[in-house]
Amino acid sequence: MDRVIIFDTTLRDGEQAAGGKMNIEEKLEIARQLELLGADVIEAGFPISSPSDFEAVQTIAQEVRKPTICALARALPQDIDRAWEAIKDAEHPRIHTFLSASDIHLVYQLKKSREEIMEMARSMVARAKKYVADVEFSPMDASRTEPDYLYQILREAIAAGATTVNIPDTVGYAIPAEFGRLIEGITQNVPNIDQAVISVHCHNDLGLAVANSLEAIKHGARQVECTINGIGERAGNASLEEIVMALKTRDDFFGLTTKIDTTQIYKTSRRVSEVTGFVVQPNKAIVGDNAFRHQSGIHQDGVIKMAVTYEIMDPRTVGIPASSLVMGKLSGRHALKERLAELGYSLSDEDLGRVFIAFKELADKKKEVTDKDIESLVAEDKRTVTEFYHLERLQVTCGDRGIPTASIRLIAPDGAAKADAALGTGPVDAVYQAINRIVGVPNKLTEFTVKSVTEGIDAIGEVLIRIESEGITYTGRGADTDIIVASAKAYMNALNRLLSAKKVVK
């Protein structure tokens, strides 16, 4: 096989990251974007974990047709059956069942013998095979499993019908050379391994997820399980964009390809960041803000003369435009549409109309509107389309000698305007108190973060917050040149997500 299968688990393992919860509409949007990206397999969720996860997997299976849609299941009958119910309408369905294999897990967590685990793996793969032709099996914590036992359980899983066997470095314990030897051992010691694709699923606890995945590919793995921006449990998963661009950039070394449309990488990264609330670190490979920025005079001189001197990738290959079109208050709707297209956005006329109005309002405040400003406007528009309560007006009074006061007017779901005012320890607290008086949904603010989207004194400020209600965390984001307004938008965004999840509107 000269192609590596890209198995994206952003919607499953990525959502397991603390605070990374997505609602059904957001998951469907990300799944559609992953389809545009060219992901071979989308692990849409863990159907038995909750009714909403089941519904999300079922919806994606019904509406996203090109990729294989995969559902995760423990090696338990009820899990397998529930996974099938969720994906039975998929064009290309897959059941992915997993079971711990290491003695550490068997002794301390499952309290089962190796023989019992072997039988569970065999019987549950066979059960999944009755539903679908495409079955994946994962012996969890494989990198800490005794190799001979790992070979046995893989042999039995393949004999029972597994078409993909996934080797998880569940706790990010492996070192690349060691992990490569493990994959090579599997190819040499599992007699029926030619009947299945070898996959790897690496975690990043030691910062080696991508390195381990690439080492596995060198030794015969032909599916990589990864996530956008590397999000996931604990320190995250192998980063899809880093895996794909390593294979593409070093084709001379690997001699392998993927089906990924790399020009969709940047757009996908930004949307996942927006939905989950996880900011992409500036120095993140491929998609970080600084990935294609040069500050050193020596580097700048080299790039001006010949980009390849300090750039091993053309930024356009990942969807970042190499040139910059200056946008300002004199720019028209067509210019904005062209710039959005260059940035990877294709908006409907209705969406473009809203973004253009917001663009003009921003251009009146700023001398120049940057690409990041435009991306922020698109993100802000997506946040406000499905809202229950709409922030119509906000006024704040504060200062070192006065009591912070906020007056708020919201448009309720029935179209009625509701206004109230409140005092607070500061302007943001006053705003939130006033909003709470109108919306009336109990919650606790657990995180409040402010950052600048762009540079300069007229920069757009973006606020990320997390609120908690009945043990569930909801993320909200808002952006504006006025940071108090941005704070209010972020809070409204979080509250609207809460209301959407509970389907309760006062």
Contact 46, 12 (CB under 8 A): yes
What does the pLDDT read at residue 451?
Answer: 85
Amino acid making up residue 323: S
Cβ–Cβ under 8 Å, residues 266 and 287: yes
pTM of full prediction above 0.95: no
| Encoded amino acid at 297, one letter | G
Which residue ranges in the chain fall short of pLDDT 70?
Answer: 1, 294-297, 299-301, 303-304, 322-326, 367, 383-386, 503-506
CA 148, 154, 156: angle at the middle one, nearest 5?
105
The pLDDT of residue 323 is 43
For the chain, give percent helix, strand, coil, nearest 5.
Answer: 45, 20, 35
Q: Where are the beta strands (DSSP E) in 11-163?
A: 41-45, 68-74, 93-100, 135-140
Q: State residue 362's pLDDT score.
A: 84
The per-residue pLDDT for 324 is: 44
Which alpha helices (H) appear in 107-250, and where do they start and end? 114-131, 147-160, 176-189, 209-218, 240-249
Helix (H) or strand (E) holding 407: strand 405-411
> What integer pLDDT is reported at residue 263 of this predicted model?
96
Fold of 386-502: Double Stranded RNA Binding Domain (3.30.160)
Alpha-carbon distance of 95 to 81, in angstroms, equals 10
451 CB-near residues (< 8 Å, 6+ apart): 279, 461, 462, 464
**Closest listed residue to residue 286, CA positions, set 323, 259, 248:** 248
Question: Are 350 and 384 spatial neighbours (Cβ–Cβ below 8 Å)?
Answer: no
Beta carbons within 8 Å of 161's beta carbon, 6+ residues apart: 125, 126, 128, 129, 135
Alpha carbons 374 and 310: distance in angstroms, whole number: 28
CA distance 495 to 477: 11
Coil, strand or helix at 419 = strand
* Angle at which helices 371-384 and 333-342 cross, to 10°: 100
Relative to beta strand 472-480, strand 461-469 is antiparallel
CA atoms within 13 A on the CB side of 269: 25
Q: What is 5-276's CATH topology? A: TIM Barrel (3.20.20)
Contact predicate 501/467, CB 8 Å = no
Residue 300: count other Cβ atoms within 10 Å of its Cβ.
Answer: 13
Record the tokens describing residue 86, joined without a space. 């969720």
Task: Identify the burial level of 256 via C-beta atoms within 10 angstroms of its C-beta, where 0-12 means exposed, 13-18 middle and 19 or more buried.
Answer: middle
